[in-house]
Amino acid sequence: MITRPRVLEALGTVYDPELDEPITTLGFVGSVAVDGGSVAVRLRLPTPQCAPNFAFLMAADASRALWRLEGVTSVDVVLEDHYTGAEINATVNAGGSFSDAFPGETRGELDALRALFQRKALLARQSRLLSEVPRRLGDLHGPEADRCRELRRALGIDASDEAAPFVTGDGVPVDATDVRFRRMASMTALSLETNGHLCRDLLRVRYGEEAAA
Amino acid sequence: MYEKDGEKYFIVDSHLHFWDASPANWVKGQEEFAKGWIECFHAYQGLGPADTHWTLEHFQKYSVEDFEKDVFTEGYVDRAIFQSTYLKEWYTTGFNDIEQNGSLLDRFPGKLMVNGRFDPRDGEAGLEQLEADHAKYGIKGLKLYTAEWNNGSRGWKLTDPEARPFFDKCVELGIKNIHVHKGPTIWPLDKDSFDVSDVDHVATDYNGELNFIVEHVGLPRIEDFCFMATQEPNVYAGLSVVIGGLMHARPKFFAKVMGELLFWVGEDKMLFGSDYAIWEPKWQIEGFVDWEMPDDEAFSDFPRLGVEGKKKILGLNAAKLYDIEVPEEYRIPVPPEEPAREESAVAVHP
């Protein structure tokens, strides 16, 4: 049976591609309604003009994650209060792609954009593991390391236990003491974290909510 | 002018607006966008101290008297540079076009400068308008908003071939300061609209002729911006949004962002901009002069910012770019044993 906690669990696997954080912890899930096999989810973003490409990815990923729930018979994802909400909602719920939503305004789909930000996320995540001295990827543990493995797999970078523990965004093994790597990784992490805070602050002000931790 | 602990700061606010976003100025049929835009800006104001927040109604349209009080009377600003932002698809007379901003020039002689704009999608008519704006206002700078919607197009890049004649025209006319503001849309929509690599390209092409001031330091792509700015001598960091959006709301992140900027870009290439009326300059200037890089371990990799650096960021750097004469008492003294170099004289000659 589909329950609210299972829906939220499914939505917890959907990441804001730009911030590399689940949409559930960012507060982007406005409401969830379950009626038998029907699931309706409303998503909300910090501003009405958040970039349409990232907004589309989140809505489409949310729809896919919900369709994977056992026993689901219908899925309705609505991105609310957004400039391009009408185009995105209609396309996502019909199973269409980004270029279907914005005909003539795209050159390709969003795979390259997603990969670009997965590389940034990988760099940022690794900066939080640099205090360790692992010999191989299998020596790294915890949620940051797990997310690095997920990102490496998504990018086609070796994520086996014997693989190099640290890699550049392009997947080239790099020494943890490499100053340039450390500097770029920590700056990328700072960028993603700062953007995440700005998004949270704007969302809170927009919807008149109290500060989250 | 701002004075603290015996130090005098000449303030150039390099990014502010005199806008009209009241419902009377919303384009019919586009109300959703006009309303959404100004409400989003209003949310940004919410990141500043609570006692500086305005009502939405006041924020939509403020008076010349409000502007004078907030910027000059209470805001310490010696010179203010308007960054014209058109958005005429959404606002009938523009959000704050050059006419609207320029209407204040006579009221505050010697205190205001106005920057123009261009949109390469306007073609030949746009080039003529740029020439006309230059003739009328003597503009020394432009603000380019690449996410502007125009006749079904949701944006452009600085590297678009159509933009080239406009940059050449800027060189010809002596409009040398190009402020770049990235936004959430671009053509094609599947690309990252905040990407700053187009700035990198044109900065290289026009090195020695044009300066590129990247507003809000490329946020949300500060890592790409820093890496690019460190390699391009004519790329500058506009601090609007950094001080207003982070210094009060997220002080730890403000310190780290400042640390990265000081490391990669340096205090000679950073420009204060309040982004008024999003945020009033007063609290930003007071807080910035008081600000110190925290002493703990997490910040040990970052350069420190002293009084001289703050003077440069708050006014002297922008004065140099805009040929603004700075009175002797505000300049940074040149050590007597060192012969004065041209760059030490902050725009003595216009």
Residue A98 near residue A106 (C-beta atoms within 8 A): yes
Is A108's CB within 8 Å of B33's CB?
no
Mean pLDDT across A89-93: 98
- Read off the pLDDT of residues A31-72 as tens digits, 9 standing for 90 and up: 999 999 999 999 999 999 999 999 999 999 999 999 999 999
Predicted pLDDT of residue A212: 45
Is B192's CB within 8 Å of A116's CB?
yes
- The Cα–Cα gap between B301 and A186 comes to 11
A86 touches chain B (CB under 8 A): no
In chain A, what is the straight-line distance between the N-terminal and C-terminal CA atoms, in Å? 32
B246 touches chain A (CB under 8 A): yes
Predicted pLDDT of residue A208: 84
Residue in A with minimal Cα distance to B183: A51
Predicted pLDDT of residue B281: 98
Q: Which of B223, B224, B242 to mutate to test the interface with A (most CBs of A within 10 A)?
A: B223
Helix axes A179-206, B222-229, angle to 10 degrees: 140
| pLDDT exceeds cutoff 80 at A26 | yes
A121 touches chain B (CB under 8 A): no
Residue B340 Cα, gap to closest chain A Cα (Å):
36
Whole-number percent of chain A with pLDDT over 70: 98
Predicted pLDDT of residue B336: 64
Is A83's CB within 8 Å of B260's CB?
no
Is A105's CB within 8 Å of B188's CB?
yes
- Read off the pLDDT of residues B209-260 as tens digits, 9 standing for 90 and up: 999 999 999 999 999 999 999 999 999 999 999 999 999 999 999 999 999 9
Q: How many CA atoms lie within 13 A of A132 on its CB side?
A: 17
- The Cα–Cα gap between A169 and A123 comes to 6
A198 touches chain B (CB under 8 A): yes
Is A48's CB within 8 Å of B223's CB?
no
AA identity, residue B20 = D
In chain B, what is the straight-line distance between the N-terminal and C-terminal CA atoms, in Å? 21
- Read off the pLDDT of residues A125-153 as tens digits, 9 standing for 90 and up: 999 999 988 999 999 999 999 999 999 99
Predicted pLDDT of residue B348: 43
Is B256's CB within 8 Å of A191's CB?
no
Predicted pLDDT of residue B5: 97
A55 touches chain B (CB under 8 A): no
Full pLDDT tens readout for chain B, 350 residues: 999 999 999 999 999 999 999 999 999 999 999 999 999 999 999 999 999 999 999 999 999 999 999 999 999 999 999 999 999 999 999 999 999 999 999 999 999 999 999 999 999 999 999 999 999 999 999 999 999 999 999 999 999 999 999 999 999 999 999 999 999 999 999 999 999 999 999 999 999 999 999 999 999 999 999 999 999 999 999 999 999 999 999 999 999 999 999 999 999 999 999 999 999 999 999 999 999 999 999 999 899 999 999 999 999 999 999 999 999 999 998 766 655 555 544 544 43
- The Cα–Cα gap between B268 and B348 comes to 18
B249 touches chain A (CB under 8 A): yes
Is A191's CB within 8 Å of B222's CB?
yes
Mean pLDDT across A164-187: 96
3-state secondary structure chain B: CEEECCEEECCEEEEECCCECCHHHECCCCHHHHHHHHHHHHHHHCCCCHHHCCCHHHHHECCHHHHHHHHHHCCCCCEEEEECECCCCCECCCCECHHHHHCCCCCCCCCEEEEECCCHHHHHHHHHHHHHHHHHHCCCEEEEECCCCECCECCCCCCCHHHHHHHHHHHHHCCCEEEEECCCCCCCCCCCCCCCHHHHHHHHHCCCCCEEEEHHHHCCCHHHHHHHHCCCCCEEEECCCHHHHHHCCCHHHHHHHHHHHHHHCCHHHEECCCCECCCCHHHHHHHHHHCCCCCCHHHCCCCCCCHHHHHHHHHHHHHHHCCCCCCHHHCCCCCCCCCCCHHHCCCCCC
ipTM over 0.90: yes
Domains of chain B by residue range: 2-329
Which 172-191 residues of chain B touch chain A by CB within 8 A?
183-185, 187-191
Is A102's CB within 8 Å of B189's CB?
yes
Residue A32 near residue A41 (C-beta atoms within 8 A): yes
- Cis peptide, bond prior to residue A40, ω within 30 of zero: no
Residue B185 Cα, gap to closest chain A Cα (Å):
6
Predicted pLDDT of residue B337: 64
Predicted pLDDT of residue B334: 77
Predicted pLDDT of residue B343: 54
The CATH number of A4-101, from 3.30.300.130, 3.40.309.10, 3.40.50.720, 3.30.1330.10, is: 3.30.300.130
Q: Which of A194, A200, A201, A207 to mutate to test the interface with B (most CBs of B within 10 A)?
A: A194
Comparing C-alpha atoms, which of B309, B322, B244 is closest to residue B282? Answer: B244
- Read off the pLDDT of residues B194-218 as tens digits, 9 standing for 90 and up: 999 999 999 999 999 999 999 999 9
Comparing C-alpha atoms, which of B165, B53, B168 is closest to residue B120? Answer: B165
Which 277-306 residues of chain B touch chain A by CB within 8 A?
none
Residue in A with minimal Cα distance to B263: A183
- The Cα–Cα gap between B251 and B246 comes to 6
Query: Domain B2-329 - what CATH class?
Result: alpha beta
pTM: 0.93
- The Cα–Cα gap between B39 and B138 comes to 33
Domains of chain A by residue range: 4-101, 111-206
Residue A99 near residue A154 (C-beta atoms within 8 A): no
- Cis peptide, bond prior to residue B220, ω within 30 of zero: yes
* Residues in chain A within 8 Å Cβ distance of B239: none
Beta-carbon contacts of residue A116 (< 8 Å; ≥ 6 apart): B192
